[in-house]
Amino acid sequence: MSTYRVAEAAQVLGVSDDTMRRWIDSGRVPATRGAGPAEIAGADLAELARTLADEPDRDGTRASAVSARNRLAGIVVAVKKDTVMAQVDMICGPYRLVSLLSAEAADELALAPGSRVVASVKSTNVVVETP
């Protein structure tokens, strides 16, 4: 399972490190704190991303940080597969994106809720890459 440090989680959601720390401190997202830096489980970050898609925290997002080349860092929140195709739901900062790709490609990329991805958007196609 994927885990994220505070800075990585903040980047995926398009918020500041401070915003992510506030969400951890308030209990909005659980984090484990051991001897090293705090870490957030990928599944927990995916759930937070899903709630942000439904009820965005517009004050905490950096929508202007999106690349002009349409490459959006994000997190997978759901994968629905059949024998041929897969639907991958992602949250990239304040945006929700859905990509349709072959089930084989989704398996090769090991896509699952909590996976870190980069969505490359061109016209009506969304290409999913792992960083």
Q: Where are the domains of the chain?
A: 3-62, 64-129
Residue 56, pLDDT score? 60
pLDDT in tens, 20-64: 988 999 999 999 887 778 899 999 999 898 888 776 654 544 444
Residue 53, pLDDT score? 74
**Quick count: other Cβ atoms within 10 Å of Cβ 121?**
18
pTM beyond 0.75, yes or no:
no
16-25, 76-85, 122-131: the lowest-pLDDT one: 122-131
Find the mean pLDDT for residues 6-33: 89
64-129 CATH, one of 1.10.730.10, 1.10.10.10, 2.40.50.100, 1.10.3720.10: 2.40.50.100
CA dist 66 → 37, 61, 72, 120 (Å): 27, 11, 7, 11
Q: Are 118 and 108 in contact (CB under 8 A)?
A: no
**Quick count: other Cβ atoms within 10 Å of Cβ 126?**
19
Residue 2, pLDDT score? 85
pLDDT in tens, 93-109: 888 999 999 999 999 99
| CATH class as words, domain 3-62 | mainly alpha
Residue 45, pLDDT score? 92
Residue 78 binned pLDDT confidence (cut-offs 50, 70, 90): very high
Counting every residue written for the chain, the total comes to 131
pLDDT at 66 over 50: no
